Amino acid sequence: MTRFLEVEKEIDEFFTTAEERIETGLEQYPQSISLLFAQAKLLLNRIPLGYVSRMDLESTTKEFPKVATLLDRALDVYESAEMQAEIAKDFSCFTQENFEILETYDDLLDFIDNFGRNTADGLDSDEESGDEEEVELSKKHPLRGIKEEDKYNLWWREHVVTFLTHFDAKKSKEVSDVALRREICKRLGQSYLMEAEEPSQIFTALTYENSDEYPDLDVKEVQKDVIKLVEQAIAYLKQAEDPEVPQSWVDIAEAQITLANLHDNESEIQEATYKLAEERLAKANKATHGKYDDIMKNLLAGDSDEE
């Protein structure tokens, strides 16, 4: 226990010392884009390592009163870096290293969303949560407010889009930058697909299950909105497509299948969208010697069921 407390103290001292050094630098160079990004990165990393890692389901805001405030401050500092870059028209800091700030933030939000289910797995766990029930956090829990506020997820996508815009302004043809751009677009595409999940389920319930659960919703409006989200996802996934990576083709095809399922049954646009997905899947399956056989069979089985 003594050693554990010593480690916590060392972590706190590390972050405090590092932040003091950055603050000293900003006193001399308050408009430094690189220092502002460094400060945002430090503040974001402090949240999981200095606070969240010490929490459990019984933790309270009395024990950890600064978490939401620290997160808001980190985001404000990041926005300051963006603003300074825009004022100076200097986008050289929009690099892989600084995109990691947004990746860290995304990982943190994911961890908070699954807090209680994955605390034993660590922040970077890639294990699927499966069908485990969502853990309800106490009103006094320091992470509850962050988890329930949509603004934090919306902030992530808004600033990834901004990052992409500024990144493109550099017009870099470096191989590493091309790969980074694909990764950014892939993450954006995935975020739109995730946003589409709930309205897609509502559309299915309204269309095929005669559900009375949503009496105030118009099925056509829900359909229109969710189609727009999936189309946006596909647009980004196409920008993430890599001619050397068949999985990137499959990502698009699966999104196209989702889109086709949202269109009116047996309509021309539905059939055309299924056809596009089938062509991409067939290409990927051939390139990987049958790796995607199961997806192909499911798609073809769906086609035959409709005939």
206-255 per-position pLDDT tens digit: 988 876 788 889 999 999 999 999 999 999 999 999 999 999 999 999 99
Structural contact between residues 33 and 97, judged by C-beta atoms closer than 8 angstroms: no
Structural contact between residues 233 and 192, judged by C-beta atoms closer than 8 angstroms: yes
Q: Residue 248, exposed/middle/buried by CB under 10 A (0-12, 13-18, 19+)?
A: buried
- pLDDT of amino acid 136: 86
Q: How far apart are CA 199 and CA 219, in angstroms?
A: 10
29-39 per-position pLDDT tens digit: 999 999 999 99
Which token pair is 98?
Answer: 């600084």
Answer yes or no: is pLDDT of 7 > 80. no
Q: How far apart are CA 257 and CA 234, in angstroms?
A: 11
Q: How far apart are CA 168 and CA 239, in angstroms?
A: 12
- pLDDT of amino acid 134: 72
Q: How far apart are CA 21 and CA 18, in angstroms?
A: 5
**pTM (2 decimals)?**
0.87
Lowest average pLDDT, out of 61-65, 153-157, 177-181, goes to 61-65
Mean pLDDT within 47-57 = 93
Greatest mean pLDDT among 62-66, 83-87, 110-114 lies in 83-87
- pLDDT of amino acid 4: 57
Which token pair is 128?
Answer: 């699927």
Structural contact between residues 253 and 287, judged by C-beta atoms closer than 8 angstroms: no
- pLDDT of amino acid 119: 47
159-171 per-position pLDDT tens digit: 999 999 999 999 8
- pLDDT of amino acid 300: 78
100-148 per-position pLDDT tens digit: 999 999 999 999 999 987 544 455 545 444 455 678 899 999 999 999 9
Mean pLDDT within 43-63 = 93
Mean pLDDT within 66-89 = 97
CB burial of 277-286 (b: ≥16 within 10 Å; e: otherwise) equals bbebbeebbe
257-306 per-position pLDDT tens digit: 999 999 999 999 999 999 999 999 999 999 999 999 998 888 877 665 55
Please identify which residue in the block is written with the tokens 């043809």: 173
Tell me which H or E stretch contains 179.
helix 175-208
- pLDDT of amino acid 130: 47
Domain boundary assignment for the chain: 1-123+139-171, 172-307
Answer yes or no: is pLDDT of 5 > 80. no
Which token pair is 156?
Answer: 């992530």
Q: How far apart are CA 99 and CA 209, in angstroms?
A: 43
Q: What is the amino acid identity at position 25?
A: G
